[in-house]
Amino acid sequence: MTRGAKITSKGQITVPREVRQALGVGVGDKLFFENLTLENGENAVLVRPARGQSAFSKYRGIGNPGIRAGRQGIADWIKELRGE
């Protein structure tokens, strides 16, 4: 996807809708811009959303009440089911 944006006199840009949708960002979200040097020597900029946690973390644990998170929690739950 290639989209353009114009920089204002304050250094601001409007991120095109298609790019916002592809990144999964909305109003109030932050973006990181990372300068990269490619193997052929050209410069590129990587744009990625600034997320402190996984986009799915808010759903963690809703489908398995009473089971602790992680491998050990699942192993303990299976042992309990088996009566061990």
State both tokens at 77: 């739950």
State both tokens at 18: 């298609």
User: Is the pLDDT assigned to residue 4 strictly greater than 90?
Assistant: no
State both tokens at 54: 């996984």
Instruction: Look up the domain containing 4 and give its range.
Output: 1-51
Give the CATH number, domain containing residue 9.
2.10.260.10
- 41 located within any domain: yes
pLDDT at 11: 94
- 75 located within any domain: no
Backbone angles phi, psi at 44, to 5 degrees: -145, 160
DSSP E strand boundaries for 1-84:
31-37, 43-49
- 17 located within any domain: yes
pLDDT in tens, 19-45: 999 988 988 889 999 999 999 999 999
State both tokens at 15: 């991120």
- 39 located within any domain: yes
Given the structure tokens 């050209």, which residue do they identify?
42
pLDDT in tens, 50-61: 877 777 777 776
